[in-house]
Structure 1
Amino acid sequence: MALTTSFLLLFLTSLTLTVAANTAYPTIPGTDNSDCAVSGELKPVRREIYGEGQIYDISHRYTEDMPSWDKTEGLGQFLWLPASIKNGSLANNSEMKLPTHTGTHVDAPGHVFDHYFDAGFDVDTLDLRVLNGPALLVDVPRDKNITAVVMESIHIPRGVRRVLFRTLNTDRKLMFKKEFDTSYVGFMKDGAKWLVENTDIKLVGIDYLSVAAYDDLLPSHYVFLEGREIILVEGLKLDGVPAGIYSVHCLHLRLLGAEGSPIRCILIK
């Protein structure tokens, strides 16, 4: 009986550890982790949705094959392990090198205005009160860029300060294709101007590497960032998230002197 009891306690302890590990390491959708406890193999799990839709992770996972601005072969290697336990080091210590406007990221005014860059308007000066709070996720008509006509048709009411725009980019899964695609959907200058003049929006989020359409790249950015009141979050992962009202939480790195930064964004229902 003592042997049986000990075995049972060992089994329950092992099961508890497995459950704890699964909670700590979320799962990629479609990944089968049902055999983890049976095989005894350590296998981290990952997920995009927590609590059956209570929390959505809308940040893209960094991979070598993710798109990078104007590149055809994707981001490429960005992570190295110069110090590893296997090679005799006391611990594993990775190093990372990547453009600050890679994946899900934020723009600061110094991104397109050199006088703002010189004056120090970097990502460390961005207002966390703008990057966190109630937000609206809307679907943009899929056959066109975001023009003044499109903005007017969406009917975003006054008082809404944060809007995430889901476009054809999500349907085409452009953020999962390593080749940069200039045909992505974004804001035209007149659409950006209409937003600035006719709404209270201070956080603009979009689902590809630039909030501005490729053909109106700098003009749209100028309109958004000239007043230093609007914050742009680009490269959002909006697939599988129902349109509606959420609480958005975006936290970037405090990179002194940088005009952009990777950012982690989640939606809480």
Structure 2
Amino acid sequence: MRCRKIKIIDITQELGKDTKIYEGDPHIRLEKFFTVDNYGYAVSKLSMGSHSGTHIDAPAHVISGGKTVREIPLNDLVGDCIVVEKSEIKIPQGTKRLLIKGSEKGEARISERHARILVDAGIRIIGTDALSIGNDAVHKILLSEEICVLESLKLNRVKPGSYFLCALPLKIDTDGSPIRACLIEGIGE
């Protein structure tokens, strides 16, 4: 049996005190709670907002009674994905997961018109390398249709094209969650 060669591209921002957060959100704090030297084992205390670093927005982020992270089908968060430049958003038919890159300044926002186009195209996951996909209206358009939003992805070294996406959140009953996201090349070849 011949093994396929795959390449995993980590598209997750590292969480730490220097991680950019949305203005007004809780700051990220990571501190040693127990240390190996003092207790024989290490435990850290982590404090942050549910939308810190690379994260997912669940419908409950802006929709009263909307699905929480725990309720998002994992099948939506794993599978074929297309990465496009913001300046050239073209959605191939049948695309369910779309990542938009092109915002080194964190401004890869989409308009309300683009959000409606994504809804009509049947997108299930939309992601961006910006801190936010768009304004409140954009979030409501997408999340009311249960289109999950991935924000603060690290796409600067990713070329536009087809990939396999894995973007799993913590299993928590809340409006958002940090995720560890990666793109995989070589699956299905």
Tell me the residue number matched to 1:78.
Answer: 29
Q: Which is greater in Rg?
A: 1
Does the residue aligned with 2:136 lie in a helix, a strand or coil? helix
Tell me the residue number matched to 2:118.
Answer: 195
Choose between structure 1 and 2: higher strand proportion. Answer: 2
User: Given residue 36 of structure 2, which amino acid in structure 1 is its aligned partner?
Assistant: I
How many angstroms apart in 2 are the aligned matches of 1:110 and 1:240? Answer: 31
How many angstroms apart in 1 are the aligned matches of 2:28 and 2:80? Answer: 36
Tell me the residue number matched to 1:209.
Answer: 131
Matching of residue 224 in structure 1 with residue 142 in structure 2? yes
Q: Report how many aligned residue pairs link the two structures.
A: 181
Measured after TM superposition, the shift of residue 239 of structure 1 is 1.0
Identify the structure with bigger relative contact order (alpha carbons < 8 Å, sequence gap 6+).
Answer: 2
How many angstroms apart in 2 are the aligned matches of 1:103 and 1:115? Answer: 25
Tell me the residue number matched to 2:177.
Answer: 261
Could you give the per-residue CA deviations for residues 16-49 of structure 1, whole angstroms, max 9, x where no partner exists?
A: xxxxxxxxxxxxxxxxxxxxxxxxxxxxxxxxxx
Tell me the residue number matched to 2:165.
Answer: 248
Aligned pairs for 1:93-132 (under 5 A) are 93-116=43-66, 121-132=67-78
Structure 2: tracts of 5 or more residues without a match: none
Aligned pairs for 1:163-174 (under 5 A) are 163-167=98-102, 169-170=103-104, 172=105, 174=106
Choose between structure 1 and 2: higher helix proportion. Answer: 1
How many angstroms apart in 1 are the aligned matches of 2:101 and 2:91? Answer: 14
CA contact 1:104–1:235 (8 Å) conserved in 2? yes
Does the residue aligned with 1:115 lie in a helix, a strand or coil? coil
User: Given residue 68 of structure 1, which amino acid in structure 2 is its aligned partner?
Assistant: I
TM-score by length of 1: 0.63
The runs of at least 4 aligned residues of structure 1 exceeding 3 Å deviation read 74-77
Matching of residue 160 in structure 1 with residue 95 in structure 2? yes
Structure 1: tracts of 5 or more residues without a match: 1-51, 142-152, 175-183
